[in-house]
Amino acid sequence: MTAAAPPVSGRQQTSFLDPTVLARIGNLELLARTVVEGFINGLHKSPHLGASTDFAQHRGYMPGDDIRRIDWRLWARSDRYYLKEFEAETNTNFNVLLDVSPSMRYGADAESGRPSKLTYACYLAACLAYFSSLQRDRVGMATFDHDVVDYVPPSMKHLRLILHTLDRLDHSARDAKVTPGKSTLDPPLRKLADTFRRRSLVVLISDFYEDVESIMSAMAHVRGRGNDVIVFHVLDPREIDFSFNESSNFIDMETGTKMPVIPEYLRKQYRELVKAHTDLLGKRVGESRADYFLFDTSKPLDKALFAYLGARQRFNRVR
C-alpha cells in the first residue's frame, strides 16, 4: 500500500475527489480522510455538521479531541477535562449496506484509470463511514450478494474495522477473475433488517440489476422498521451510454451467459431501457420516502457526500 499521498492545496482539493486520482492512493483510510477533510474545508464549516443543541452527556477528553468542546465550567469544579456530547452525536446509528455481487466488479479500465463499480463503491462507503464517525455516529456495515457476506455492527469503535473490510474488498475488486453468480436483494436485506434494533440511517449501495418491484419489496424490509434509507445507484458510464463501437460477445457477469452484440444496432434501444429502469427506480424510491441518487464511476465523490449530508440533516430534524 502507498505510504502517503501528495499534499492537498486549496486548488487541488477538488481533484482529490476524482475517482481516477483517488485510485492512486493505496491506503483506504488515507483516501477517506483526504476526501472528507477536503469536502469539509470546502464547506467552510466545522466537521460536526448538523449537531443538535440538546445536551446528552459528558465524556472524558481524549488526545485529538476539539478543545472547543471542553466544558470549562465542569473543569473548574473537577480539575478534569470533559467534553460535551449532544443528542445528534450519540443517538445516530449509521449503516452502509454494500452490494458485492459479481456485476459490481465490472468497469475497471486500466487505460483511463477508472475504477470498477465495486472499487468506487468501496471509496464511497469508506468516505461516508469516516464522515459519520466525525459526527460521533455509531458506524456499521454489511456486504452482501445473494446472502450476507460481512457484517460489522454499529459502534463508535468500528471505523477501523469497516475500513479494513473495505480495503480487503477493494483489493479483491481489482482481481480480474470473476466467478459468475446470480444475486438478489431480498434474502440479505430481510436478514439484515432483523439486526436493526433501533432507528438507523441506512445507505444502500448497488448497481440494482434487478426488477424494480423486486428491489422495492426488498427495501421494504429495511424501510419498514422506521429506518431512513438513502439509495446510491452506481453504474459504469458505459452501462449508461453504451459507448461501445466494436461487435463482440457480451457476458452477463451474474449468470455467465454470452450474447453476440452489434452496438450500433442496439445503442438507442439499450439507452431507452436503462433510462426507463433508472427513472422508475428513482420514482418508486421517492414514493417510499427514501432518497435516490444515480452516480456513474467517473463522478467525483463530493456529489455523493453532498447528497448524504442533505439526507442526514433531514434525518436529524425529524428524529
What is the DSSP track for the chain?
--S------TTTTTGGGSHHHHTT---HHHHHHHHHHHHHHHHTS-SSTT--SSEEEEEE--TTS-GGGB-HHHHHHHSS-EEEEEHHHHS-EEEEEEE--GGGGTT-BTTTTBPPHHHHHHHHHHHHHHHHHHTT-EEEEEEESSSEEEEEEEETT-HHHHHHHHHHHHHHHT-S--------SHHHHHHHHTT--S-EEEEEEE---S-HHHHHHHHHHHHTTT-EEEEEEEE-HHHHH----S-EEEE-TTT--EEEE-HHHHHHHHHHHHHHHHHHHHHHHHHTT-EEEEEETTS-THHHHHHHHHHHHHHHHH-
More confident residue, 29 or 203: 203
The predicted pLDDT at position 6 comes to 37
User: Once rounded to an integer, what is the mean pLDDT over residues 252-261?
Assistant: 77
pLDDT band, residue 252 (cuts 50/70/90): confident
Checking if the pLDDT of 227 tops 60, the result is: yes
The 10s digit of each residue's pLDDT in 50-92 is: 444 455 567 787 777 778 778 888 888 888 888 776 544 445 8
The predicted pLDDT at position 292 comes to 96
User: Once rounded to an integer, what is the mean pLDDT over residues 18-28?
Assistant: 81
The predicted pLDDT at position 91 comes to 55
In whole angstroms, give the CA distance from residue 125 to residue 18: 15
The predicted pLDDT at position 57 comes to 63
CATH number for the domain formed by residue range(s) 92-318: 3.40.50.410
Mean residue pLDDT across the chain? 82
Which residue, 198, 221, 237, 75, is CA-closest to 144?
Answer: 221
The predicted pLDDT at position 48 comes to 45
User: Once rounded to an integer, what is the mean pLDDT over residues 232-246?
Assistant: 92
More confident residue, 46 or 146: 146
Checking if the pLDDT of 9 tops 60, the result is: no
In the chain, domain spans: 55-87, 92-318
The predicted pLDDT at position 58 comes to 73
In whole angstroms, give the CA distance from residue 279 to residue 233: 11
User: Once rounded to an integer, what is the mean pLDDT over residues 26-44?
Assistant: 80
The 10s digit of each residue's pLDDT in 129-176 is: 999 998 889 999 999 999 999 999 999 999 999 999 999 988 876 665
Rounded to 5°, the CA angle 94-95-98 comes to 150
The predicted pLDDT at position 36 comes to 87
The predicted pLDDT at position 165 comes to 94
Checking if the pLDDT of 46 tops 90, the result is: no
More confident residue, 162 or 46: 162
> Picking from 245-249, 262-266, 272-276, which range would have the lowest pLDDT averaged per residue?
245-249
The 10s digit of each residue's pLDDT in 98-128 is: 999 999 999 887 777 789 999 999 999 999 9
Q: Percent of the chain scored above 70 by pLDDT?
A: 82
Checking if the pLDDT of 254 tops 90, the result is: no
